[in-house]
Amino acid sequence: MTGRIWLIAGPTASGKSALGQKLARATGGEIVNADSMQLYAGLRTITAGPGPDELAVAPHHLFGTVDPADGWSVGRWLRAATEVIADIRSRGRDAVVVGGTGLYFRALTHGLADVPEIPAGVREAAAAEFETMGEEDFRARLAAADPAAAARIAPGDRQRLARAWEVFAATGTSLTDHQASAAGALPAGSWTAAALEPPREALYARCDARLERMIAEGALGEVAALMARGLDPALPAMKAVGVRELAAHLRGETDLPTAVAAAQQETRRYAKRQMTWMRGQMGSWPRIDAADARDQWRQLLALEPALTA
């Protein structure tokens, strides 16, 4: 049982962190963060990162270690995570990778395409062309070069549409073809996965309740400190769920109840997007559909009976 890799994915507020901690206790493992926002320092409350009691359960890695001014890409996380996982396994311990960022898990299990750096001029041209052409025509042009990308990118996802076109314009090869040539980062057979998908009503209620707890536990102070730094709004940390809504309140643009309600709504929307991703990209992963923590653990045991051995 030593040296195994466990992947526990799920939408926000689904209970994946508690399940990961219980798994780490049961296996003597160490927890590796796979949440793109919990990477950043100073945002523990607003991103629902582990607190002191949770950190005492098992060693944690890649939580709150990155300055918000330093925006990490998927590739940068993948390099850091694979190094951490290799170190954990070299010490004969299990690595429990927990998070809700689907792209992180896909990169970990399928690898990441080795796409050359896109020249700034190509990126600027793509942005200008999107403005001029509009999404429909821009997508139609992309479909001629990379039909798979045009089909899978959701409506309104300007960033990914532009990225797919930039890659083709700069390299002459579609992003889909680049991705098909990527090697998996984890060895086949080295990992066991489960995806949490609790009933939507229960999940949304948890999202709402957790946002209220965040306010009580100091989320406004975290957002105020982030705002005081005057960081580029395009940085990933500035897009953490709840930051925009609470910042509007701190600027005096709305009252606190309105800001909290807006943040709750955005959290629910984010959870829905995460579940949609999991169904599309993690369709083969075993599901844990319970909402109660004890039932989730029982379902995990049923998926992996060796845990009780």
- In tens, the pLDDT along 147-184 reads 988 998 988 888 889 999 999 999 998 988 877 766 66
What letter represents residue 256's amino acid?
L
Whether 87 and 216 share a structural domain: yes
Q: Please report, for the domain that includes residue 204, its CATH number.
A: 3.40.50.300
Is the same domain home to 173 and 267?
no
- In the chain, what are the helix, strand and coil shares in percent, each to the nearest 5? 55, 10, 35
- The residue ranking higher by pLDDT, 60 or 187, is 60
Contact yes or no for 240/246 (Cβ under 8 A) = no
More confident residue, 170 or 309: 170
The number of C-alpha atoms within 13 Å of 31 and in the hemisphere containing its C-beta is: 29
Q: Are 91 and 220 members of one domain?
A: yes
Q: In Å, what is the CA distance from 31 to each residue of 26, 57, 59, 233? A: 12, 10, 6, 30
Whether 157 and 231 map to the same domain: the answer is no
Q: Choose one of 153, 180, 207: the last residue of a domain.
A: 180
Claim to verify: residue 276 and residue 143 sit in the same structural domain: no
Last residue within a domain, chosen from 161, 180, 199: 180
pLDDT score of 264: 98
Taking only the tens place, the pLDDT of each residue in 190-219 is 999 999 999 999 999 999 999 999 999 999
Segment 70-96, tens digit of pLDDT: 999 888 999 999 999 999 999 999 999
Check whether residue 125 and residue 101 sit in a common domain: no
Domain match, 203 and 216 both: yes
Let me know whether 176 and 187 are in one domain. no
Question: Sign of the CA dihedral 154, 159, 164, 168?
Answer: positive
Structural domain boundaries enclosing 58: 5-112+183-308
The pLDDT of residue 182 is 65
Listed range (40-49, 177-186, 247-256) with the worst mean pLDDT: 177-186
- CA-based R_g, the chain, Å: 20
Residue 199 has phi, psi (to 5 degrees) of: -55, 140
Q: Are 301 and 152 members of one domain?
A: no
* Domain shared by 77 and 210, yes or no: yes
Q: Are residues 55 and 164 in the same domain?
A: no
How many folded domains does the chain comprise?
Answer: 2
Mean pLDDT of 290-301: 96
Same domain, 210 and 286: yes
> Domain boundary at 130, 154, 180, which?
180
Task: Read off the CATH number of the domain in which 153 is found.
Answer: 1.10.20.140
Give the mean model confidence (pLDDT) for residues 54-63: 96
